[in-house]
Structure 1
Amino acid sequence: MIEDLTVRNMVRNHTLARASSDAAWSELRAVPEYKTDWYGRELVVVDRWYPSSRVCSACGALRDAMPLGVREWTCRCGAVHDRDLNAARNILAAGLAVAACGDGVRPARA
């Protein structure tokens, strides 16, 4: 399970442009695609608009906009989240839901 990223938009951010360009994002996606094809598996790609870092992995509450500088946050339910670990948990849960239900992963509509 991987998250679909818009590398073009990441390079436009002048603060992250060099790191984003050096990361070889196309290879990061190409290798799992190749491996899953090789072994006859399915690669689940979570939609780029899914708010994986803003959804509480404990209770499912959606937090308002969060700047990139916020690395840890506390939910209303009391759970303390590291931004990246929380996103990883949410991407795993969304991918497992797709594997079980066969439905696309999209952000919840208001």
Structure 2
Amino acid sequence: MIDNQKIVHKSGRDSLFLNSTRSNAYNGATFKREQIETPYTKGFSTKKTPIEKALEKPTSLRLAINAKCFDCIGCGFDPKPTDAIRNCEINGCPLWPVRPYQTVKG
């Protein structure tokens, strides 16, 4: 089972570490996963992440879908997460037909 740890980054943003310490099944060694730096955790982006927006309004279905798609593509590791969500190739996902950013604005 995965244990989640919520850690506050020095920029004030929350980071989620999934299974931060786990045993290697092959040799029993234990390793610690390092935090992945993203534009959001480095403080380059002043906008709220879709996950932060969804946490502010937990009853919003649209914000929940946006947050899940953002989480699925790597939580902003990609500099343009909207393009990654728009070009999602996981057709079997139940959220695929209703994912955000399907059309280009402008």
- TMscore range, shorter length: under 0.3
Q: Report the structure, 1 or 2, having the larger helix content.
A: 1
Q: Which has the higher contact order (CA 8 A, sep 6+)?
A: 1
Q: Report the structure, 1 or 2, having the larger strand content.
A: 2
